[in-house]
Amino acid sequence: MALSCVQPFGYSSESCGYCKDASSGQRRPNSRASYYFSSKSLSVDVYQALVDRGWRRSGTIFYKPDVLRHCCPHYTIRLPAAELKPSKDQRRTVNKWNDFVLGDDYKKGAAKLHPVSKEEKARLKNGFDLLQEIRRADIDNVKRPPEPAHRFEVTLEPAGFTVEKFELFRDYQSHVHKEKPSEISQSGFKRFLCTSPLQQTSRQVDGKSQQLGSFHQCYRLDGRLIAMGVLDLLPHCVSGVYMLYHSDYEKWQFGKLSALREAALAIEGGYQYYYMGYYIHSCTKMRYKGDYKPQYVLDPESYDWDPLDGELKSLLDKKTYVSLSGERARKGFAISATSEGGVDMTSSDDDRARWPLPTAAEAGEAVRDGMSLFDLKIPGVMTVEEMESTLDLGSTPIRVRGQLALAKHLVSWEDGDIRQPHSIKGIIGELVACLGPEAASQIVVELG
């Protein structure tokens, strides 16, 4: 297998594309912050480990938001696909699309040629079989004759470039995201949605071949590409990257149709979970992901998965940054301190004490001025002490000008300090701390 190679970029703060200042309608400058690295070759196992520590990718760039300092915190969510309970609105969307594809004439003719038993009618009336209903109008599942009104098919293919896909992208970006023609290019489309560093492979699961890597799920109606989902298929999940559809079919709500189709793919393919990307509670247009239940949110500090309901949702309504593990630890500390005659520190006071430089703008400026991420402190990023007790940083494989070596064999290694962000030891130390031990043990760091 090819090496999983990463090239560190570092910490960056910039303007946010999700939120706007409520009073002026202008984007707030320097309001989001993330740690970045790039890779031209990464195994699906490494990326799975990264996704489960809050990472996502855009083309060959991987990023981990600083959830604490982000103006609209990005929380990783996942859905146990087999437990999905489609809402009435979601079921209605599927039924309307199926009725459109099949047509009234087909349904009348099929009722005579392919009668449904009483038991089947009762089952359809009292329940919703996602796997059956989401594919009911697929041409391969349609009983013929008679012929349906339209020929609808969905195929999964490698994430390669075609002019047909680009034209769909151009229409979507111009109509949905209001981009100007000069802002939409083939090179941008290739970089964003076709180029992937994930190594394509497959494995056997329950006797079936399971595909892994980056794919395009293409929706075609009467031979025309009308929608496309960009997916990363990982060992434990179907990870949604992007979804685009043609403006001619906007009323059919392909966002909902594709989400249910991708959850069905996770069930059928044995991937277990469906990851819909980031859940942004403070951004109204991004809350829809919580409508697909049951959802679980990745705790940015402990990396536990907490249900997106009850306690967590209540806290998200009150504050932008929430870590249930942190909340519970502070609550326990406050009770202990009060019982011992100490000060009952409030959550906000404790946040300020634990995390210096509370905004992305302040943090970004400090990092540019030479502050180490270990001194900045980012939720979920390993501390120096944690790294020293669990990892041998000097044994990290590196590649310089095509030559492989261990970090400790570099001449400058012993003279470096992990808290000096511009030293080799500091660069590798920050990268490993952000990746986490599981991913860091499987990568080669490319320098120069």
Q: Name the residue among 291, 220, 287 with its Cα closest to residue 249.
A: 220
Report yes or no: 96 and 86 within 8 Å, Cβ to Cβ: no
| Residues 289-319: tens digit of each pLDDT | 999 999 999 999 999 999 999 899 999 999 9
Residue at 212 is within a domain:
no
Sign of the four-CA dihedral 61, 65, 71, 75: positive
Residue at 24 is within a domain:
no
Which two tokens mark 339?
């019982």
Residue at 271 is within a domain:
no
Give the pLDDT band of residue 14 (cuts 50, 70, 90).
Answer: confident
What's the rounded Cα separation, in Å, for the pair 69 and 12?
Answer: 12
Residue at 395 is within a domain:
yes
**Average pLDDT of the residues in 30-56:** 95
**Average pLDDT of the residues in 392-404:** 95
Report yes or no: 421 and 35 within 8 Å, Cβ to Cβ: no
Give the pLDDT score at 398: 96
Give the pLDDT band of residue 337 (cuts 50, 70, 90).
Answer: very low
Report yes or no: 19 and 28 within 8 Å, Cβ to Cβ: yes
Residue 40 in this model has a pLDDT that exceeds 50: yes
**Average pLDDT of the residues in 241-259:** 98
Q: What is the pTM of this model?
A: 0.92
| Residues 273-294: tens digit of each pLDDT | 999 999 999 888 889 999 999 9
Give the pLDDT score at 21: 41
Q: What does pLDDT average to over the chain?
A: 91
**Average pLDDT of the residues in 29-52:** 92
Report yes or no: 17 and 63 within 8 Å, Cβ to Cβ: no
CA separation (Å) from 409 to 7, 371, 387, 401, 427? 19, 26, 19, 15, 16
Amino acid at 5: C
What's the rounded Cα separation, in Å, for the pair 81 and 155?
Answer: 20
- Annotate 296-348 with DSSP letters as a single string: EEE-TTT--EEESSHHHHHHHHH-S---HHHHHHHHHHHHHHHHTT-----HH
Higher pLDDT, 61 or 26: 61
Which two tokens mark 345?
């520190």
Q: How many helices (H) and strands (E) does the chain have?
A: 16, 17
**Average pLDDT of the residues in 77-91:** 97
Strand segments, DSSP code E, in 108-257 are: 152-158, 201-205, 208-221, 224-234, 237-245
Residue at 427 is within a domain:
yes
Other beta carbons less than 10 A from residue 361's beta carbon = 18
Residue at 255 is within a domain:
no
Higher pLDDT, 224 or 339: 224
Give the pLDDT band of residue 124 (cuts 50, 70, 90).
Answer: confident
Residue 387 in this model has a pLDDT that exceeds 50: yes
Domain span holding position 391:
382-433
Give the pLDDT score at 243: 98
**Average pLDDT of the residues in 380-406:** 95
Report yes or no: 225 and 219 within 8 Å, Cβ to Cβ: yes
- Annotate 361-420 with DSSP letters as a single string: HHHHHHHHTT--HHHH--TTSPPHHHHHHH--GGG-EEEETTEEEEGGGSTTTTT--TT-
Q: Helices 324-339 and 310-318: crossing angle, nearest 10°?
A: 80
- Percent of the chain having pLDDT more than 70? 92
Give the pLDDT band of residue 351 (cuts 50, 70, 90).
Answer: low
| Residues 182-240: tens digit of each pLDDT | 999 999 999 999 999 999 999 999 888 999 999 999 999 999 999 999 999 999 999 99
Other beta carbons less than 10 A from residue 135's beta carbon = 18
Residue at 58 is within a domain:
no
Residue 19 in this model has a pLDDT that exceeds 70: no
**Average pLDDT of the residues in 18-44:** 72
- Percent of the chain having pLDDT more than 90? 82
Report yes or no: 66 and 14 within 8 Å, Cβ to Cβ: no
Query: How far does Cα 337 stand from its chain's mean position?
Result: 39
Structural domain count, the chain: 1
Give the pLDDT band of residue 340 (cuts 50, 70, 90).
Answer: low
Q: Name the residue among 207, 97, 71, 201 with its Cα closest to residue 154.
A: 97
Residue at 286 is within a domain:
no
Report yes or no: 64 and 278 within 8 Å, Cβ to Cβ: no
Give the pLDDT band of residue 163 (cuts 50, 70, 90).
Answer: very high
Radius of gyration in angstroms for the set of CA atoms belonging to the chain, rounded to a whole number: 25
What's the rounded Cα separation, in Å, for the pair 305 and 316?
Answer: 15
SS3 238: strand
Report yes or no: 422 and 372 within 8 Å, Cβ to Cβ: no
